[in-house]
Structure 1
Amino acid sequence: MLNLFRVLSKLPLRWLHALGSLAGWLTYWGSPTYRRRFQANVQIAGLPWSTAKGAIAHAGRMILETPWLWMRPPGQALGPVLTWDGAELIDAALQQGRGLVLLTPHLGCFEICAQAFADRYSGQLVAGEEAVNPITVLFRPARQPWLREVVDASRERPGLFTAPANLAGVRQMLRALRRGQTIGLLPDQVPPQGLGVWAPFFGQPAYTMTMAGKLLQQTGAAALLIWGDRLPQGRGFVVHVRPAPQIAADSAPESAAAIINKAMEEMIRLAPAQYLWGYHRYKQPRGLDIGTAPAPASADAAAATDPAGKA
């Protein structure tokens, strides 16, 4: 598999996206469980099937572009493959020198966001002084040893550090913010070790991480929304940056999680064809005494009617 990763990393991005589109549809039709979950999540969100079905191909593109992203030579600039929309918001936040939290859902090429930040901002001015401004991103270590080796060697690059999704990683990100640095989170990821609360996501109770809200409350850091728009025909990516909602210092974890989930919903509605609808967002974490979701709607019931038949 490692050799396959190396081969794929050498292919042009347009080829990878073309192959990924095929892989996405093959996975969709080859896995009934994945297909039902995908359809159910779209219905829960109340979106027309026609606006979301493009995400089937985009899920495959996400997988096939990963070797290209992870195995880029360290220090190699992204160059013309990347453009920015709203970078001035990051510029202003960094000048404040109080730390910055970048929040993105599983939308588009979320992997490109951290690399783009490191490419643009590592070594830039922070609070008027020349300083390296790295970004630290939260990730779950891969279970497969060969993939763990690839991730460890490729995700960390100049200006980009990683923190494991556990208490040690939380402490690492807290230290980064207190040093005035930047961190990146995917708050629509089901939290590990029960570090979450039930909060609505597209009107459905979803177990949601409390980390984002707590880090903002404890550090007073700035927050922005960010996502990587995957352009057609492998032409590259546009990283969009938007203001994030404010989290009051005295907000309860449930309130903070609901506010962040709402912001994620609004971002997803901008490009539903690039959201990872097959992600098991509404699952109940195993082995955790967190109680059941309050009156959840049945995902299986939502998927009972195949929306593909209405396309």
Structure 2
Amino acid sequence: MSFVSSASAGPRARHPERVPLYRFLGPRFWPLWIALTFVRAINLLPLRVQMAIGRRLGVLAHTFSRRDRRIANINVALCLPHLSEHERKALVRSHFQALACAIFETGLVWWASDRRLRRLITFEGTEHLQSALAHGRGALLLTAHFTTLEMGARALTLLGPTSIMYLTPSNPLIAELSRRGRARHTVQAISSEQIRDLLQNLKNNVPVWYAPDQRFTDKNSAIVPLFGQPAASNIATSRLAKISGAPVLPYFPERRPDNRGYIVRIYPPLENFPSDDPIADTRRFHELIESHVRRYPAQYLWAYKRFKRVGADPYARTRAEDV
């Protein structure tokens, strides 16, 4: 069932030119093609088998990815200081398993049929989105960078046309495959510079997926606590909501503990949002992230330098570490 009116103009954004895949046949792309072929083959297996393979690969990644393991350990220590050293290390190991599972999920996002994904995804709270769209101003679906991020965005397309705001992947082959996968499944990708297109989609009553939780340092940024830690944060959500009049609905996808599917929870629109204080509004968003992290800690993106900012870098190596 689609929640977007048939009278709507549908998602709008400038389409990047389709890049022929033969341009990516050079030797520099061969390792990636081999990896993609492996992922595509694994995607043919039942989900629980894919996730079991992903967990095994995650163990290997945890063993050999020293840099990312160190970043994740620092983040967990900063955000969840109540954990013992043993608990922290166990969480980081589980996180690497979740990261590896996300690789196969990305393959499903690109290549799996709607029919297959409908069997894997359970929605809760779709009535909140339906009610929000009934007002005709679209909806900002506010989420964060968990390892289920790609699956969560793809899940929304099962409900109707959806726009997502994204950063272009640095690898051109991944960028092209992402673009093709989204275009195949009624997802309109909007680059982070296309604010006018985002606002136009909301005006056309199209829901927009928005994950503004990563490190941000431009004019629409401020230091806002996350887990009690100062974090350079994007505070533009308030401004977008105020300009568009669109309701802001938190939503979070989660991987089921039995690895047989996903639950996508859509929450009611935030009340009294936006306020006149964008920093306070961003703090409310951070509190939602914190709550979801505590429920599914391994699924959060820990291997990312979230707390690096001008004048402070908790990830900088100490002299003792270099000895």
TM (norm. structure 2) is 0.77
Deviation at residue 237 of structure 1 after TM alignment: 0.7
- Deviation per CA, 1:232-279: give whole Å up to 9, x if none: 443111111223544645524333322222222222222112211112
1:298 matches 2:298:
no
- CA positional deviation for 1:59: 1.5
Task: Give 1:71's aligned amino acid.
Answer: W
3-state SS in 1 of match to 2:230: strand
Shift of the 28–77 alpha-carbon distance from structure 1 to 2, 3 Å rule, reads closer
Q: 2:106 aligns with which of 66, 79, 84?
A: 66
Number of residues of Structure 1 aligned to a counterpart in Structure 2: 280
**Can you list the C-alpha shifts for 1:74-108, whole angstroms capped at 9, x where unaligned?**
x5462221111222222221222221111111225
Q: Which piece of structure 1 moves more, 86-95 or 220-229?
A: 86-95
DSSP-derived class of the 1:78 partner: helix
* CA 1:146–1:297: 2 relative to 1, 3 Å: closer
- Whether 2:226 is the aligned partner of 1:201: answer yes
**Cα–Cα, structure 1 residues 99 and 256, in superposed 2: closer, same or farther, change >3 Å?**
same
Distance change (3 Å), C-alpha of 1:55 and 1:243: farther
Q: For the Cα contact (< 8 Å) 1:17–1:233, is it kept in 2?
A: no
SS at match of 2:252: strand
**Take 1:19 and 1:186, find their aligned partners in 2: how far apart are those partners?**
28
Secondary structure of the residue aligned to 1:234 is coil
Aligned to 2:177: 150
CA distance in 2, matches of 1:93, 1:32: 45
Q: Could you tell me how far apart the structure 1 residues matched to 2:65 and 2:116 are? A: 38
* Correspondence 1:211 to 2:236: yes
Structure 2: give runs of 5+ residues left out of the alignment.
1-31
By how many angstroms is 1:18 displaced? 1.4
Q: What amino acid maps onto 2:118 in structure 1?
A: G
2:70 to 36, 61, 82: 36
Task: Describe the shift of the 1:258–1:12 C-alpha distance in structure 2 as closer, same or farther (beyond 3 A).
Answer: same
Equivalent residue for 2:28? Answer: none
- Counterpart of 2:54 in structure 1 is 20
The equivalent of 1:56 in structure 2 is: 96
Instruction: Tell me how far apart the structure 2 counterparts of residues 273 and 177 of structure 1 sit (CA, whole Å).
Output: 33
Contact preservation (8 Å) 2:59, 2:97:
yes
What's 1:266 paired with?
A: 291
Alignment of 1:1-311 (within 5 A): 1-2=32-33, 3-4=36-37, 5-46=39-80, 47-48=82-83, 49=87, 52-53=91-92, 54-73=94-113, 76=115, 78-120=117-159, 122=160, 134-165=161-192, 167-168=193-194, 170-191=195-216, 195-243=220-268, 245-246=270-271, 248-249=273-274, 251-284=276-309, 292=310, 298-299=314-315
Q: Secondary structure at the match of 2:267?
A: strand
Residue pair 2:217, 2:232 contacting (<8 A) in 1 also: no
* Partner Cα separation in structure 2 for residue 175 and residue 242 of structure 1: 24
Which residue identity does 1:10 align to in structure 2?
L
| Post-superposition CA distance 1:195-240 (Å, at most 9, x none) | 4222111111111112322211111211111111112443111111
SS in 2 for 1:239: strand
Structure 1 stretches of 4+ moved >6 Å: none
Equivalent position amino acid for 1:119 in 2: L
The farther-off stretch of 52-61 and 200-209 is 52-61
CA contact (8 A) 1:136 1:182 kept: yes
8 Å Cα contact 2:50-2:104 kept in structure 1:
yes
SS of structure 2 residue aligned to 1:155: helix
Tell me if structure 1 keeps the 8 A contact 2:105–2:150.
Answer: no
Asked if the contact 1:37/1:278 (under 8 Å) is kept, the reply is: yes
| Structure 1: stretches of 5+ with no match in the other structure | 123-133, 285-291, 306-311
Instruction: Report the Cα distance in structure 2 between the residues aligned to 1:251 and 1:30, rounded to whole angstroms.
Output: 47
Scaled by the length of structure 1, the TM-score of the pair is: 0.80
Distance 1:69-1:192 versus aligned 2 partners, 3 A rule: farther
Q: CA deviation at 1:153?
A: 0.6
TM-align CA RMSD: 2.7
Query: % of aligned pairs identical?
Result: 26
* Residues 125 and 267 in structure 2, CA contact (< 8 A), matched pair in contact too: yes
